[in-house]
Amino acid sequence: MAAPYRGNTGHGVYFITACTFQKKNLLQSDRMAGLLVEVLLHYRAERKYLLHEFVVMPDHFHLLLTPVVTLERALQFIKGGFSYRAKKELGLAGEIWQTSFYDRRVREADEYVRFRHYIHMNPVQRGLVPVPEDFLMVR
């Protein structure tokens, strides 16, 4: 199934959620989650997008980002870059990501603050840590 057409995504800030294939806990190990963080930071350094906040959960990730290219291309860098490296460096086989992703354009400052809070509290809400500062994959 093809990803839905999103039109001109522009250069606004977006709240993104992308899930692993069949919501499997592929990102629960430090090694896998760390590789995704490396990919996120690599493409940020390459100026493919501005990365404002993120959390890597066992079966999904959330981002607040501003695409420099299209939003679809930014997610292709992240998901495709991670898939390539996970298969090459860690020997992972099979599907890694669900085909599409969820996006919401952030329109106001208070909305940004709510999404930022959601990102930071997600590991606490899921019972992974008592406080956000204890979770290593939040920035």
pLDDT tens digit sequence for 114-136: 999 999 999 999 999 998 888 87
DSSP lists the bridge partners of residue 19 as 60
The predicted model scores a pTM of: 0.89
pLDDT over 70 for what percent of the chain?
92
Q: Pick from 80, 71, 85: which is nearest to 99 by CA?
A: 80
- For residue 1, is pLDDT > 50? no
pLDDT score, position 10: 61
Distances, alpha carbon 125 to alpha carbons 30, 37, 121, in Å = 20, 21, 6
Assess if CATH 3.40.50.720 describes domain 14-134.
no
Q: How far apart are CA 72 and CA 7, in angstroms?
A: 10
* Ranges of each domain in the chain: 14-134
| Whole-angstrom distance, CA of residue 41 vs CA of residue 133 | 19
CA atoms of 1 and 7, how far apart (whole Å): 18
**Smallest Cα–Cα separation from 100: which of 15, 24, 33, 2?**
2
User: Helix-strand-coil percent breakdown of the chain, rounded to 5?
Assistant: 40, 20, 35
Q: What is the pLDDT of residues 36-70, one digit of tens each?
A: 999 999 999 999 999 999 999 999 999 999 999 89
- Quote the CA–CA distance of 33 and 36 in Å, as a whole number: 5
